[in-house]
Chains A and B, each alone.
Chain A
Amino acid sequence: MHLCSIPDSLWKLHLSTYENAIDVRGLNKYFGDKHVVKDLSLQVGRGEILGFLGPNGSGKTTAIRMLCGLLTPDSGEGHCLGYDITTQSDAIKREAGYMTQKFSYWEDLSIRENLDFVARVYELANRKHVVDEALETLGLTSRSSQLARSLSGGWKQRLALAACMLRHPKLLLLDEPTAGVDPNARRDFWEELHELASKGVSVLISTHYMDEAERCHKLAYIAYGNLLAKGSAQSIIEEQKLFTYEVTGERLMEISKVIEKDPAIEQTVIFGSTLHVSGKNSEAIEEVLKTQQFKSIPTSLEDVFIYLMKHTRDNYGESYEL
């Protein structure tokens, strides 16, 4: 039976019966013969914030587009807000809020006109009030008649976010919403996100910022279309069983070049005046580093992601032109 014919009272029933806001299994997407998303399975619970991470071109945007019905998966199945992603994308579009990576509001409309269009097209009650309120929270009331074109990059991003939140969706699909946004506004944004989550809103958010990754309840790391790690930041770090050492001293660049050749060293990353060295075998690393000044430190999320990215490039990456 088609959901659209179910009367209003049953609708609510339907909405309250889904368990996970996002629950997809085995999603695949090809562009030509390029396999962009491979067997992706994701679950996002109610009130959960899932961080979606991965290097450029790894398929994050493609995956999010499949979730909200903008791209048809070549195979796989699943539900968003209890609606089938392949057959009920109309309902998903109505109830989920999707924010595109690239600014995709109308630059030749004013800020207010853009918000007004959104309010009309989603048939929001109390349109004027809703738009006024959004302008107020954004702090753009005085500039509301300015064309969207004239906004700075960060402000465009904030406008898009406001437009997406306008109708209080139960699921937010945010594709790098804070790219180019200043730290202050980012902090406000994350506070609001956690507040929404506490009210039961589920969030899937892609980001390249490590501090943001740490603020998510759970993380999913995707590289070259493969989902490589899933879980809390802590569990992802533990899963990789990496040992990390911090080397201090002079000429870190040269040291890094030398020790990199040793098979025990999986990766070296320079962080300012220190060098992070990671690997799986702690004894072997300590042996390599014995002539240096070093100490053992906890492995960070960033170390793990760099490790994961390198590792998959070696395994899957050859066929990719980046």
Chain B
Amino acid sequence: MSFSLNRWWAIVLKEFLQLKRDRVTFAMMVVLPIIQLALFGFAINTDPKHLPIAIVSYDESDFTRTILSSMQTSDYFAINTDYTTADEAQAALKKGEIQFILTIPSDFTKKLLRGEKPSILLEADATDPVTVSVALASIDGIAQQVAKKDLVGSLSTLWSQKNPFEIRVHRLYNPNSINQYNIIPGLMGTVMTMTLTMMTALAITRERERGTMENLLATPARPLEIMTGKIIPYVFIGLVQASLILFASHFVFGVPFNGSIVLVYTVALLFIAVNLTIGITISSLAQNMLQALQLTIFYFLPSILLSGFMFPFYGMPVWAQHIGEILPLTYFNRLIRGIILKDNDLAMLWPNIWPLLIIAVVMMTLAVKFYKKTLD
């Protein structure tokens, strides 16, 4: 017996009617995003380490080598040697694979020796201002170190100047380091993770607890029909939430909107689907509503903490990054920031899209597998 659209539609209609009658839930799903937006207007400061940086160097000397090695030892930066040309580095910055680009001009050493105070360009992805400010605080110290080590003997006169060379900083994408630019788009995924997962996690356990599951199981409806039918209404709820947050972030918090709105909704839809499948998996695993809630929180906490929403992703220890890489919110955060703040196109977003597709398919398969067709 295959998938029947009639039976599926019967479930969809039933869920819509029940959701319509459940005013409290309905209100919660709309009010929660607003409350969270208000709460997260403030930033959480952190001390990130090992932020990926690409070096584009047109000059090689003892001085530049000292700069690089002191950067390496400072712990704040991790030099990424994959990108060495300006174009490669810019593309990587846009995709979010690196956080900084350091460009050393070709006449750097020459000017330094002549005492002309050359400058080095540090471009920062300031989408996340916390990251940038920490790194900038450390960069001054690096300049001092170079001076002490290499500017000896006859060159020590150069040292006596306050700064032998200058580091110029370009903050890209969020030039004024407004934390809300980072937080608000990130909040979109967080709110959706929480509410959508929880609502669908309750979907099947609620039937079980109210005793209506016995009736549902006695009908010819198939597990896949029941589960996909049950999540459809929440797709709409998710889209409403996404719209609310987008609206508020632009008109209330003034977050600039650089990217394509179609792309935003496309990735939002995908992310909604992923969370609903996770919720429904929890629902078929859990025995009762309390367990479903606990499992949701178990999924939600690492999502907020390790997805790059609260702490910069590359600033976390490696093991935490690995956990982050299996959380859908990690990819969604990169996607939504990439679109809204950096105008990424589909090709640039793809590396963060396919993991979501895989998670959705795996979760739906698990949900159908765990779904109990009997009351045993």
Contact = CB atoms under 8 A, between A and B. Distances in A.
A65 B7 CA distance: 22
A65 B375 contact: yes
B374 to A, nearest CB: 6
Interface string B212-256: 111101111100000000000000000000000000000000000
Nearest to A119: B10
B220 A122 contact: yes
A120 interface: yes
B62 interface: no
Contacts of A106: 14, 18, 212
Interface stretch (A96-104, A178-186, A265-273, A287-295): A96-104
Counting chain B CB atoms within 10 Å of each CB, the highest count among A70, A98, A107 belongs to A70
Contact of B376 (A72, A107, A121, A122): A72
Contacts of B218: 68, 70, 93, 98, 100
B153 interface: no
Contacts of A71: 374-376
A4 B7 CA distance: 17
B9 A90 contact: no
A302 interface: no
A65 B215 CA distance: 11
Contacts of A224: none
Chain B interface main SS type? helix
A104 B216 CA distance: 9
A113 interface: yes
Contacts of B375: 65, 70-71
A117 B226 CA distance: 13
Nearest to A117: B14
Contacts of A108: 17-18, 21-22
B214 A104 contact: yes
Nearest to A114: B14
Contacts, number: 71
Contacts of A122: 219-220
Interface string A263-285: 00000000000000000000000
A91 to B, nearest CB: 8
A265 to B, nearest CB: 43
Contacts of B137: none
A38 to B, nearest CB: 18
B85 interface: no
B69 interface: no
B1 A90 contact: yes
Contacts of A113: 14, 17
B4 interface: yes
A117 B10 contact: yes
Nearest to A66: B374
A90 B225 CA distance: 14
Nearest to A97: B218
A70 B22 CA distance: 29
Given A70-B375, A105-B212, A120 B9 contact: yes
Interface string B1-14: 10010110111011
A71 B374 CA distance: 5
Interface in B3-43: 4, 6-7, 9-11, 13-14, 17-18, 21-22
Contact of B212 (A90, A104, A147): A104
A70 B7 CA distance: 19
A241 interface: no
A262 interface: no
A121 B218 CA distance: 11
Given A117-B14, A122-B220, A104 B22 contact: no
Interface in A193-236: none
Interface of B: 1, 4, 6-7, 9-11, 13-14, 17-18, 21-22, 210-215, 217-221, 374-376
Given A108-B21, A121-B11, A123-B4, 4 more contacts: A68-B218, A70-B218, A93-B218, A104-B215
